[in-house]
Amino acid sequence: MKKQLAPLLAIIVCITTLACTIPFNNKDNHLSKKQQQEGWQLLFDGKTLNGWTKKSGKAAYKVEDGTIVGTTVPNSPNTFLCSEEEFKDFELTFMVKYDQFFNSGVQIRAKLKGEEYGGRVYGPQVEIEQSPGQAGYIYGEAAGGWQSPEPQSDDPKVNTHSYFKNDTWNQYRIIASGRSIKTWINGQLVADLDYDPERYADNPEGFIGLQVHGVGKKETPMSVRWKNIYIRPL
């Protein structure tokens, strides 16, 4: 009986913790018919930047080898490649990798204010940075700073982690449902946050934004890559 129950218990734990890596197929930037039937949408076709628009800064974005490559430029504010479609409650997965390390992130439910560089992006951001670090925690971009409590803690056990694997591809998973925002990196739960009620009221839905952080006067370009950007409304 114990032998029969063990596999079942493992499946139950996997489902209830929502910590399993999404088993997408091996073909990049592609959804099977089954995944499409499950409601998944392809945000990046692997060939073009159709459906995306640059906002807030001057960083460069291009498609190379089936990936979106975001590259820094000197004297630019934070820049974002923004989805033209907006989302409210959703599950989002993507792969990300650094060519050279700097700060990055992915906006969710983001909005624009002002007019410079097409508008200033603001709202919740899921952090992307090298390990050990604070990757996966939630930051309020132009919206109050850190929303996750862990980066504000003096306890090193909760302040940093090494779920993000340096120098290789990493899978992020984000589930946003109402004020609840949960994030995983490579199957490991990182953030489990009830977003600030007032800020949620301002950002209950919005676009997805791929960030290239400003680097001041640094002229040496640094790049980050994304692929397999999939989303399904909940």
Structural domains in the chain, CATH included, are: 24-233 (2.60.120.560)
Q: Where are the alpha helices (DSSP H) in 18-93?
A: 33-37
pLDDT digits (tens, 9 = 90+) for 189-201: 999 999 999 999 9
pLDDT digits (tens, 9 = 90+) for 150-191: 999 988 888 999 999 999 999 999 999 999 999 999 999 999
Cα gap 198→176, rounded to integer Å: 16
**3-class DSSP assignment, residue 36:** helix
Residue 91: which of 172, 204, 147, 146 has the closest Cα?
172
Taking the CB of residue 80, how many other CB atoms lie within 10 A of it?
33
pLDDT digits (tens, 9 = 90+) for 42-51: 999 999 999 9
Cα gap 158→152, rounded to integer Å: 9
